[in-house]
Structure 1
Amino acid sequence: MKTNLWTLIMSILLLCTSSHTLAQQEAAAKKILNQVSQKYDGYKTIQATFSFSAKQADGSSYADNGTLSLDKNGNKYLIEMRAQQLISDGKTTWTILKEEGEVQINDADNSNDNINPSNIFSFYKSGFKYVSAPDETVGQTTLSVVDLSPIDTKKNYFKIKLRINKSTKQIYDATIFDKSGSRYTYTIKSLKGNVSFPAGTFAYNKSKYPGLEVVDLR
């Protein structure tokens, strides 16, 4: 009986300690994310270069580089990569698939339910539970780490690992853990805020893409 009582007491103590630690991790993560938000909320426009890597569950991999131009007013963006280009004027999105020789047209997704180029620097503000993890180091750069899990368990991913430059408070990279076993990582190489973009940056000009098959999915 004494052994059982002692085991019960230890279990309660461990549970209380675990709950307290989790609360501390949540508070630390919230502080980090608030600092990141404060940084990006000050930008009306953003221009960034990035790398993308995918590791599929079957062991195959894919990598690419690109640039992102984003105008937060109206959720407009332009993404240029080797294999494809995405243009959105906030109402319509054009996806130019270079190898397939086609352009797909869709209604723009301006909701916060899904991660997309228009909210890539702010998606974490709602719809997630989060905890801080131990700092990591890449070269001479120290990174704060926050693990986010979607409140909506129907999402096709179960976790996003967000790493933030501890000095600049800017996002270093984000890794999406898919339920299929695949991982997708976006790494921000450079970033400038409040950039002036030429007129027509976020408009689709079909004369620039002659010969493409148009697939209207609206």
Structure 2
Amino acid sequence: MKTHCILTLLLGFAALVTNAQSDTGAKKILDEVAKKYDSYKTAQADFGFLVTDAENKSYSDQGTLFLNKVKNQYQIRLKDQQLISDGQSVWTILKEEKEIQITDADNSTDVIGPNNLFTFYKTGFKYIGMSDEKVGANTLSVIEMAPLDTKKNYFKIKVRINKNKHIHDVSIYDKSGSKYTYTIHKLYVNHRIPSSQFVFNNKEYPNFEVVDLR
């Protein structure tokens, strides 16, 4: 599966305006997680993801997310793709295709993107707490969520949370039988990120075709 298809899934879930929780214990944990992430002005996350389809074929990759929440700016670095947003526009750099797509940034809360990636679950889901799970020496709280909108192309999201109330990983189960797991390996918060991380420099991409979709 192409990397840009995976990112489209990750960043393209529509958030709903209805809120219906079914488990007060799970709600308490999620509220604590959301409160912590909402307090951060900047964040840098080293992450990995693994995709397994219905035929048990898999694809994996590693990446880094840089985020300036105050200005709605971000950069996502992957092996075959890079996304840069200055808060107004988004440059999607497809390295294999040697193509750069430019689109308008969507800073609304109606669409899940990097700025609310860790808190998207606050509305639009019913959820339930499951039994804790062990990963190495760590005990993780487990919460499973189902979208209230049954027309979504996914039917379940599983979130595992560590003792620091940070997300360890998120697994998304879609109706085609594929599973997408995003694991946060390292997280750095409220540190200075150079503004150059959020500026597109076309000199770095000679011979790339530019497609302006704005």
What secondary structure does 2:23 align onto?
Answer: helix
- Counterpart of 1:200, as a letter, is S
| Structure-1 residue corresponding to 2:213 | 217
Q: Which residue of 2 aligns with 1:58?
A: 55
- Look up the SS of the partner of 1:215 in the other structure: strand
The code of the aligned residue for 1:137 comes to: K
Deviates more, 1:49-58 or 1:108-117: 108-117
Q: Are 2:157 and 1:160 aligned?
A: yes
Task: Answer yes or no: is 1:195 the counterpart of 2:207.
Answer: no
Q: Which residue of 2 aligns with 1:89?
A: 86
Letter in 1 for 2:178: S
Q: Which has the higher contact order (CA 8 A, sep 6+)?
A: 2
Report whether the alignment pairs 1:122 with 2:148.
no
In structure 1, distance between residues paired with 2:159 and 2:110: 18
Q: Secondary structure at the match of 1:201?
A: helix
Counterpart-to-counterpart distance in 1, 2:107 and 2:152: 17
Say if 1:102 and 1:208 are closer, same or farther in 2 by CA, change over 3 A: same
Paired with 1:155 and 1:110, the residues of 2 have a C-alpha distance of 22
The runs of 5 or more residues in structure 2 that have no matched partner are 1-20
* Aligned-partner Cα distance in 1 for 2:55–2:42: 38
Q: Which whole-Å deviations, capped at 9, do the CAs of 1:10-56 have from their partners, x for residues lacking one?
A: xxxxxxxxxxxxxx961011010011112212211001100011112
Unaligned runs of 5+ in 1: 1-23
Q: Report deviation, 1:86.
A: 0.7
From 153, 168, 188, the equivalent of 1:172 is 168
State the Cα distance separating 1:199 from its structure 2 match: 2.2
- Report the AA paired with residue 201 of structure 2: N
Query: How many equivalent residue pairs?
Result: 195
Q: State the distance in 2 between where 1:100 and 1:150 align.
A: 34
Give me the TM-score of the superposition, normalised by structure 1.
0.84
Taking only the aligned residue pairs, the percentage that are identical comes to 58
> In the TM superposition, what is the alpha-carbon distance from 1:181 to its structure 2 partner?
1.1
Query: Is residue 113–residue 127 contact of structure 1 (8 Å, CA) maintained in 2?
Result: no
- Residue 200 of structure 1 aligns to a residue whose secondary structure is helix
Q: Which residue of 1 aligns with 2:23?
A: 26
1:205 equivalent in structure 2: 201
8 Å contact from structure 2 (residues 33, 166) kept in 1? yes
Return the match for 2:73 from 63, 73, 76.
76
Question: Over alpha carbons, which structure has the higher Rg?
Answer: 1
1:129 Cα offset (Å):
1.3
Q: Tell me the equivalent position of 1:5.
A: none
Deviation at residue 100 of structure 1 after TM alignment:
0.9
Task: State the superposition RMSD in angstroms.
Answer: 1.7
Q: Which stretch has the larger CA shift, 102-111 or 31-40?
A: 102-111
> 2:128–2:144: 8 Å Cα contact kept in structure 1?
yes
State the Cα distance separating 1:153 from its structure 2 match. Answer: 2.1
Partner of 1:173, secondary structure, is strand
* Residue 145 (1) aligns with residue 173 (2): no
Deviations 1:124-160 (A, max 9, x none): 1112111111111101100001111112222221111
- Displacement of 1:111 in angstroms is 3.3
Equivalent in the alignment of 1:41: 38
Is 1:99 the counterpart of 2:93 in the alignment? no
| TM-score, with structure 2 as normaliser | 0.86
Whether the 8 Å contact between 1:49 and 1:190 is mirrored in structure 2 is yes
Given that 1:25 and 1:133 are in contact with CA atoms closer than 8 Å, whether structure 2 keeps it comes out as: no
